[in-house]
Structure 1
Amino acid sequence: MEITGLFAGKPQPFGPRKSPSSIVKASQKHLRVLTNGAVEDEQGDKKLHGGPQMALHQYAQESYLTLQEAFPSIADKLQFGSIGENISAAKMNENNVYIGDIYQIGEVSVQVSSPRAPCSRINQRYGIKKVDLFILEQGITGWYLRVLQEGTINVGDKITLEHRDDQAVSVKDLMHMSKTPKGISYTRQQLEHAATLETLSPEWQGKLKRILKRL
Structure 2
Amino acid sequence: MQHPVEVFTGKVREYAGSRASAIAKLQVDGELTLTERGLAGDEQAEKVIHGGPDRALCHYPREHYSQWAREFPEQAALFVAPAFGENLSTEGLTEKNVFIGDIFRWGEALIQVTQPRSPCFKVNFHFGISDLSLLMQNSGRTGWLYRVIAAGKVASDAPLELVSRVSDVSVYDAAAIAWHTPFDDEQYHRLLSAAGLSVSWTRTMQKRRLSGKIEDNSRRLWGK
Return the TM-score normalized by structure 1: 0.91
Partner of 1:5: 6
Q: Deviations over 1:147-175 (max 9, x none)?
A: 0111122222121111002x420001101
Q: Which of residues 177, 181, 204 is equivalent to 2:201?
A: 204
C-alpha separation in 2, matches of 1:9 and 1:180: 31
Pair 1:202–1:4, CA change in 2 (3 A): closer
Percent of paired sites with the same residue: 30
Q: Distance in 2 between matches of 1:69 and 1:209?
A: 38
> Which aligned pairs between 1:72-87 and structure 2 lie closer than 5 A?
72-87=73-88
After superposition, residues 38-53 of structure 1 pair within 5 angstroms as 38-53=39-54
Q: Secondary structure at the match of 1:14?
A: coil
Q: Kindly provide the CA deviation profile for residues 28-65 of structure 1, in whole angstroms up to 9, marking residues without a partner as x.
A: 11432100111110111111111110000000112112
Q: How far has the Cα of 1:15 moved from its partner?
A: 4.7
Aligned ranges for residues 1-215 of structure 1 at < 5 Å? 1-17=2-18, 19-30=19-30, 31-165=32-166, 167-179=167-179, 181-182=181-182, 188-212=185-209, 213-214=211-212
- Give the match's secondary structure for 2:179: coil
Residues in 2 aligned to 1:87 and 1:15: alpha-carbon distance in whole angstroms: 27
8 A Cα contact 2:55 2:145, kept in partner: yes
Change in Cα spacing, 1:46 to 1:170, as seen in structure 2 (3 Å) is same
CA 1:51–1:142 in structure 2 vs 1: closer, same or farther (change >3 Å)?
same
Secondary structure of the corresponding residue to residue 5 of structure 2: strand
Runs of 4+ in 1 over 4 A off after TM superposition: none
Gaps of 5+ in 1: none
Gaps of 5+ in 2: 214-224
| Alpha-carbon distance between aligned partners in 2 of 1:111 and 1:189, rounded to the nearest angstrom | 25
Cα pair 2:57 2:87 within 8 Å, conserved = yes
Over the aligned positions, Cα root-mean-square deviation in angstroms equals: 1.7
| One-letter amino acid matched to 2:207 | R
TM-score, L = length of structure 2: 0.88
AA of the residue aligned to 2:48? K
8 Å Cα contact 2:6/2:27 also seen in 1: yes
Q: Deviations over 1:153-199 (max 9, x none)?
A: 2222121111002x4200011011112544xx8x5433212123341
Q: How many residues align?
A: 210
Instruction: Supply the AA of the counterpart residue of 1:174.
Output: A
Letter in 1 for 2:98: V
Q: CA–CA distance in 2 between the matches of 1:2 and 1:153?
A: 14
Three-state SS of the structure 2 residue aligned to 1:22 is: coil
Structure 1 residue 206 displacement after superposition: 1.9
Alignment check: 8 A CA contact 1:33 1:39 kept: yes
